[in-house]
Structure 1
């Protein structure tokens, strides 16, 4: 696992597939997403290497219910004493009470999806707080929950308006210094609407579930990319990768 400083108060944990983020408010930590089922020890070690104690992780916020984002949530919650938050529509998946809806794959996504199937299943994790659009979480000066369905029904973004930071989960991905629509969506039309909704937010830094963060002018870049995707969707029916 790689540890990358995004901002002085924000670090990215990059795994073999996907990534998570650690936000610091003084001596209190928040983990946004939780990696795969085998990533818990590496996350704990990284927290310690950054000079913190595991019990300083007060909350784990899950952007959606896929196993590369929820796999270590139960282990980390138990070891850190942290509460877990997830959108109410993905909370049953996180708890192991329901199966995640399968994606509707475009032809070019199929080889990528075969690789993603190597992610181990996520152990069921308790969800202490079920989130809804507009909820405000007590970190980052007031972290706003932004519903972003389409990748999954309960996908969310997390916006820190006071810091100009946006966590998109898998609704948006980073690719070669730009933003693209995330892959493996259950409803591509809703996913594109969510891309536009997230892109409309004021942010300087955008942190994705996959791909390098944008750390300057992220809002402008997201809006330009969302507009480009809308045009390509009309012209090519979403058949082009990336965009």
Structure 2
């Protein structure tokens, strides 16, 4: 894990080897976290909040973009430590709660090789077991998050998982795309391991068409901080990971 870096007004990125956390300052005091990486990451997240001058109970919201282990893996630990409320896409909520199985992706050959590498890394790291967590608010397309520095549009972006969501802050021109969009060497790519590749590509295209986006806070890879519209327009998600 590297240092906490401010990537937009009110937004900091805390990078991890697999998956990043984004911390958002709330105007009424406190913070929200967008995603929590793999199990065992909570202490590093709490340390990052402390560096921002926050105490554990200052984490008010945890927004999970989807149900995969590298996004919800430390949510239960953070809830226990902070009392934060958990928000997630309605269709992914049963998986996050542990009342429904995780839908299986249909990997391409390139994705299968990458998945094997990631699993080997998880095994070597000795990750704690995944703990499921309750979802306090189920989010749907068109919802607006309360208490953020500006109105936040919730976009349902299925395909990676059935209930994946993205968050769009048009005022500050920031996008949290979940795993629909990644950054590989400065190129925006479709996130791998999709349960429905065609729907994931359609979700990518929906996000790429947004007008008010300058900064893309991807969960994997470096954030896209300049020329985001141009980078997204140049993307070819239909051809990624084949």
Q: TM-score, normalised by structure 2?
A: 0.91
Contact 2:183–2:222 (Cα < 8 Å) also in 1: yes
Unaligned runs of 5+ in 2: none
Cα deviation, residue 239, structure 1: 5.8
> Within 5 Å, which residues of 2 pair with 1:1-243?
1-2=1-2, 3-26=4-27, 27-117=29-119, 118-119=121-122, 120=127, 121-138=129-146, 139-201=148-210, 202-225=212-235, 228-230=236-238, 232=239, 240=242
Is the CA contact (8 Å cut-off) linking 2:64 and 2:86 kept in structure 1? yes
d(CA) in 2 for partners of 1:51 and 1:7? 18
**How far, CA to CA, are the matches of 2:54 and 2:9 in structure 1?**
14
TM-score (norm 1): 0.91
CA distance in structure 1 between the partners assigned to 2:133 and 2:24 by the alignment:
21
Structure 1 spans left out of the alignment, 5+ residues: 233-237
Distance in 2 separating the partners of 1:176 and 1:53: 36
Kindly indicate whether the alpha-carbon contact (under 8 Å) linking 1:140 and 1:163 is maintained by their aligned counterparts in 2: no
- The separation in 2 between residues aligned to 1:167 and 1:129, in whole angstroms, is 18
Query: Which moved further from structure 2: 116-125 or 216-225?
Result: 116-125
Structure with more contact order per residue of length (Cα contacts < 8 Å, sep ≥ 6): 2
Judge which range, 165-174 or 1-10, deviates more.
Answer: 1-10
**Across the two proteins, how many residue pairs are aligned to each other?**
232
Residue 97 of structure 1, CA deviation: 0.9
CA RMSD of aligned residues (A): 1.5
Aligned partners of 1:178 and 1:214 also within 8 Å: no
Q: Distance in 2 between matches of 1:5 and 1:53?
A: 19
Counterpart-to-counterpart distance in 2, 1:15 and 1:164: 24
